[in-house]
Amino acid sequence: MHKPERLIAGWLLCGCVLIFLMVIVGGITRLTGSGLSITEWNVVKGTLPPLNEAEWKLAFAKYKESPQFRSENITFNLLQFKHIFWWEFFHRLLGRVIGVVFIFPFLYFYFTRRLDSDVLRKLLVLLGLGALQGFLGWFMVKSGLINLPHVSHYRLAVHLITAFLIFGYSFRMALNLIYPLPAVLCRLNKRVRNLSTVLLLLAILQIIYGALVAGLHAGKIYNSFPKMGSRWVPSEINVLQPCWKNFTENLVTVQFIHRTLAWLIGILICIIWVIGVKKRGAFLKQTQSHHVLLALFFLQFLLGIATLLTSVSIPLAVLHQCCAFFLFAGILFHLHSSKVA
């Protein structure tokens, strides 16, 4: 790998780390109920927090007009407001940092002519996705500032999956720069490539349903495992009309689908692992990625169970979201190693 490719790959991987941190801080912000503490979006002025008592009182006064304060936090004092304010502030500040980290190096690489046409086109798409993500963040927050003190779970799901897709797009570009030659990594057979593609699609769907579970607070019902209460399939799974609403608005159904997808992903990873182990003599690097995938899945599965049994303990929920990122990255690396990506 030449020096320009090394620099660009390192830059993209730094961006991936920042996106990972952004999602984790966003998860903490949501779990602590901090996401609606800042009721305005000022790209430049909002870079600085309140700097004196008068500015803090003004920010608190604006928050008092929000549905969240009126219905949930009516007893909040200024000190309590500051606690939730800082989480949302750091979340937005990190978003601005990510924008700077992506834009200024891009301009440097562009004006020093270090980008070929293919990489330039992909980077422009990446920057466009980043701008879209910033808009989606405010679009999500805005939904909780009108009538109800909760953001739309649909907008939350779109916001989260876009973050994962930007991470995946950046990570894939970096891998392609680090391992540009087809000969670097051996190819797996067609069956494994097809299974790996299905695995990625299931993982994306699972991320979406994880966001729906979070947005609907569906993890706080049926806090038992492996059954939901006394049943494998709860009776409330199909109570909404029209029927399609159950898939996105019924708390019981959303949790049930999230659980079911976890089992399907686990079974698929186990099948891929078995095939990889059988072919370990010819596909050493792929076998290593299989081991990593299997270990990450079991860790994620156990964290999911622990989060459920504790009625969504904040530390466990954050760890569960962290591990989801690592598992997603592991799937992408496995796809790259088998030349599917």
For the chain, the structural domain boundaries read: 1-180, 183-341
CA dist 11 and 29 (Å) reads 27
Model pLDDT, residue 270: 93
E strand intervals along the chain: none
Bridge partners (DSSP) listed for residue 335? none
Model pLDDT, residue 194: 83
Model pLDDT, residue 67: 92
Q: What is the DSSP letter of 339?
A: T
Question: Residue 249 corresponds to which tokens in the numbers above?
Answer: 């608005």
Model pLDDT, residue 286: 54
Q: Please state the pTM of the whole predicted model.
A: 0.90
Question: Residue 332 corresponds to which tokens in the numbers above?
Answer: 């992408």
Apex 172 CA angle, 15 and 116, nearest 5: 85
Model pLDDT, residue 246: 95
Answer yes or no: are the C-beta atoms of 122 and 173 closer than 8 Å: yes
Q: What is the DSSP string of 124-139?
A: HHHHHHHHHHHHHHHH
CA dist 75 and 87 (Å) reads 19
Model pLDDT, residue 189: 61
Q: How many CB atoms lie within 10 A of CB 227?
A: 11
Q: Output the tens digit of pLDDT for each of the chain's 341 residues.
A: 566 788 999 999 999 999 999 999 999 999 888 989 998 888 888 889 999 999 999 999 999 999 999 998 999 999 999 999 999 999 999 999 999 999 999 999 999 988 889 999 999 999 999 999 999 998 999 888 888 788 899 999 999 999 999 999 999 999 888 877 554 444 546 777 788 889 999 999 999 999 999 999 999 999 999 999 999 999 999 999 999 999 999 999 999 999 999 999 999 999 988 887 776 544 445 557 788 889 999 999 999 999 999 999 999 999 999 999 999 999 998 888 776 43
Model pLDDT, residue 182: 52
CA dist 210 and 233 (Å) reads 19
User: Would you call 140 helix, strand, or coil by DSSP?
Assistant: helix
Instruction: Find all residues with CB under 8 Å of 287, minimum gap 6, and list them.
Output: 276, 277, 279, 280
CA dist 182 and 337 (Å) reads 9
User: Would you call 228 helix, strand, or coil by DSSP?
Assistant: strand
Reference 36, options 52, 54, 55, 59; nearest CA is: 59
Answer yes or no: are the C-beta atoms of 335 and 196 closer than 8 Å: yes
Calculate the dihedral angle through the C-alpha atoms of 35, 41, 42, 47, rounding to the nearest 10 degrees.
10
Reference 101, options 1, 16, 167; nearest CA is: 16
Question: Residue 216 corresponds to which tokens in the numbers above?
Answer: 């609907």
Answer yes or no: are the C-beta atoms of 185 and 1 closer than 8 Å: no
Distance of alpha carbon 317 from its chain centroid, rounded? 13
Reference 222, options 185, 259, 193, 188; nearest CA is: 259
Answer yes or no: are the C-beta atoms of 25 and 90 closer than 8 Å: yes
Reference 152, options 192, 103, 212, 102; nearest CA is: 212
Residue with tokens 């270990």: 295
Query: What burial class does residue 282 get, using C-beta atoms within 10 Å of its C-beta: 0-12 exposed, 13-18 middle, 19+ buried?
Result: exposed
Model pLDDT, residue 284: 46
